[in-house]
A and B are shown apart, each in its own frame.
Chain A
Amino acid sequence: MIEIVGGVATSHVPSIGAAIDHGKTGEAYWEPLFRGYERARQWMAEAKPDVVLIVYNDHACAFSIDLVPTFLLGVADQFQPADEGYGARQVPVVPGHPELAWHLYESLVLDEFDMTLCHSMTVDHGLTVPLSIMCGEPDAWPCKVIPLCVNVIQYPPPTGLRCYELGKAIRRALESYDSNLRVAIFGTGGMSHQLQGERAGLINKEFDKAFLDKMSADPQSLTAISHHDYILQAGSEGIELVMWLIMRGALDAEVKEIYRHYHVPASNTAAGLIILEND
């Protein structure tokens, strides 16, 4: 049976990727953030997942307003980093795991989660920045990746409860797959931030701290947070936090918190990271 080695939730701020790509991680502005990532990379190197399911959102790269899938699985052999409007990140091509991705697709649809299927798509910073945060700058990514893309741009995104329940269905699907693969799940985006409007620059560290605490100890309570609550308290883009709940739903109700890191600011965002394992 598949072993779920753990779940990671992390922000996916593009400027974190740019700091890595342009050799700025030692600069005074970035050093405290990246110092906090060292322990996470150590966990990743020791956990050695064969496959990582990365829950993220596309930012007008692979998909536009022309097609807005609420939940989408990428089943390709590989995924090229996207040109997001300023050239593609110079990071390795992301290898897929079509066999497990197809299994997830079939299982989830039959389990009442109507996923969109995608054979050909690029991946943007939402997916590659978490890989960089967890793996550094390898010549090739050390794991296969299954992209699970979530709409969080067009109102309304899926509810937190729906995301949490999807995570549970992912868990059931993984457990029905006949293999010894080691699988990790990343939930990405957040934490509190607002990129747009006169209120751009919102940060709510009290909200974020409580969210991290609940991710660890009482995730069910987080499923009651409405879109309105997220937008008002965690910012218009803080609503990305619903994606963390997909990862959390795939883990046991009670988990062991391995590590957390929180830093403000990473550009206009509160950067949070938490690593959880089933007990």
Chain B
Amino acid sequence: MPTRGNVEVARGEEKCADTPAIVIKASERSAVNKQPKFDDVPGTYVFTKEYARKGYHLNMFCMSFNVEANRDEFRSDEAAYLRKYPMTDEQRQAVLDRNWLEMLRLGGNIYYTFKIVMHDRRSMQYVGAAMSGVTEDAFKQIMLTGGKDQEGNPRRGPNVLGSRDD
């Protein structure tokens, strides 16, 4: 088996040693300079260079919310404040519409756009529900029963918790 450093590199798909719960696929390292592909990850916007470049001004607009005076200015006239940033009209409209998925598609990153969520006095669960297309109560219930699986479908398990003192 080939190695990188002193770590064995799995070829194809293998289980993580004796732990079937973590599946290790072929090393990304061998794919340096290749376009990362996340096509098999549903409902996910990995913040690659394409999104970072497209979303720069949108994200910097969100970043400005770290200053209270800017939040106040946005609150008093959202459209006027948005015009101060050289964003696309589409990006401005997505903010005005609070279209959270559209903001991601247009290059927004969740840690940045979350500042708008908090400005609106909403929560991560609120925006998680909005992006999932369910009510906030339904989303909270999904989280209480173990969240969503890899395909994005709600699990229907019991709440999971536990502590262990060895």
Contacts and interface: CB of A to CB of B under 8 A. Distances in A.
Contacts of B160: 205, 262-264, 270
Contacts of B7: 161, 220, 223-224
Nearest to A156: B36
A237 B45 CA distance: 11
A20 to B, nearest CB: 16
Interface residues of A, number: 75
Contacts of A92: none
Given A60-B115, A201-B139, A229-B23, A196 B66 contact: no
Nearest to A195: B110
Contact size range, B = 35 or more
A236 B60 contact: no
Given A220-B7, A224-B16, A201 B128 contact: yes
Contact of A259 (B112, B159, B163): B163
Given A65-B56, A220-B7, A232-B150, A268 B17 contact: no
Interface stretch (A44-52, A77-85, A106-114, A141-149): A77-85
B94 interface: no
B123 A196 contact: no
B68 A83 contact: yes
B12 interface: no
A197 interface: yes
B166 A161 contact: no
A261 B163 CA distance: 4
Interface in A232-258: 232-233, 236-237, 256-258
Interface string B25-49: 1111100000010101111111111
Contacts of A199: 41-44, 148, 152
Interface of A: 14-15, 32-33, 35-36, 39, 59-61, 64-66, 82-87, 153-156, 159, 161, 165, 192, 194-207, 209-211, 213-214, 218, 220-229, 231-233, 236-237, 256-265, 267-268, 270
**Shortest beta-carbon contacts, A-B, top 6:** A203-B147, A198-B43, A199-B43, A85-B115, A210-B21, A196-B110
